[in-house]
Amino acid sequence: MDTMHEVMENLRGGDHAALFYRTRAEQLAVVVPFVAIGLKRGERCLYIAEENCVATIIDELEKGGVDVAAAQKSGALTISTKHDTYLRHGIFEPAKMTADLMHEVTESIRLGYTAFRATGEMSWALTLPSALAELSDYETRLHAQFPGQFVGLCQYDERSFSPRVIADMIRIHPIVIARGKLMQNRFHQAGATVETLLPDLVTVDQVVDSNIDVPAALAS
């Protein structure tokens, strides 16, 4: 069986993926190699922490073999929080957050990096009802503009988000990571907007079951 590091090697530029997890161990098993692989490939990486504090992410990355201090000093790695990213404009504004990320992609290439790679712990929105209501709008906007030199991983705790939010995120993301697998998502709704997302609920287990005969890693 492939290790999660080997599985995560299959994410490439232009991939917009959602991680669905039920335990911190499941989460860290994915996000640590996600960052480590990006740094190894010469990509500029951003980690937005929330339920795991910045110190915890630094510690876990170091356990995973990442020289965090050197990566931060060079500018290749930024470990941030919602206040400097999702809420940097005071309130969550999906259009501005999407524009900020597109700027980071352009800036990364200008600085000589091969791509921009970002992952965020989306649990930051759970305590902000207005932001939580905007998540689907944000994710559909981001996906509609997703460039080929961007690798994105949106993290969703299945224990905390409602079935409605989980279903919407499944519809929006063409790649799903869950239960130790990286899968082409058969429930992805291409071209969806927040107004056109299908109303029927779909679960992570349905995605996993529907891909039972699909290789765990995407074909290169």
Mean pLDDT across the stretch 83-87?
96
Mean pLDDT of 45-68: 97
Number of H helices, E strands in the chain: 9, 7
Q: How far apart are CA 155 and CA 33, in angstroms?
A: 14
Please report, rounded to a whole number, the percentage of residues in the chain having pLDDT higher than 90: 95
- CATH number of the domain that residue 96 is part of: 3.40.50.300
- Give the structural domain span for 132: 4-154+167-210
The predicted structure's pLDDT at residue 199: 95
Give the per-residue pLDDT at 219: 41
Residue 38 maps to a domain: yes
Q: How confident is the model at residue 217 (pLDDT cuts 50, 70, 90)?
A: very low
Tell me the pTM.
0.94
Note whether residue 173 is domain-resident: yes
pLDDT of residue 211: 80
- The verdict on residue 205 lying in a domain is yes
CB 136 within 8 A of CB 168: yes
Average pLDDT, the chain: 94
Give the β-pairing of 77-81 and 116-121.
Answer: unpaired
Q: What pLDDT sits at residue 10? A: 95
pLDDT surpasses 70 at 216: no
Residue 216 lies in a domain: no
**Residue 159: inside a domain:** no
Does 214 score more than 90 pLDDT? Answer: no
- The count of domains in the chain is 1
* Average pLDDT estimate for 70-94: 96
Q: Answer whether residue 160 is part of any domain.
A: no
Structural tokens at position 83? 């206040």
* pLDDT single digits (tens) 154-212: 999 999 999 999 999 999 999 999 999 999 999 999 999 999 999 999 999 999 999 86
Rounded mean pLDDT, 105-123: 98
Residue 65 lies in a domain: yes
84-92 long-range Cβ contacts below 8 angstroms, 24+ apart: 85/46, 85/48, 85/120, 86/48, 86/120, 86/124, 86/125, 86/131, 87/131, 91/130, 91/131, 92/125, 92/128, 92/130, 92/131, 92/134, 92/138
The pLDDT assigned to 212 comes to: 60
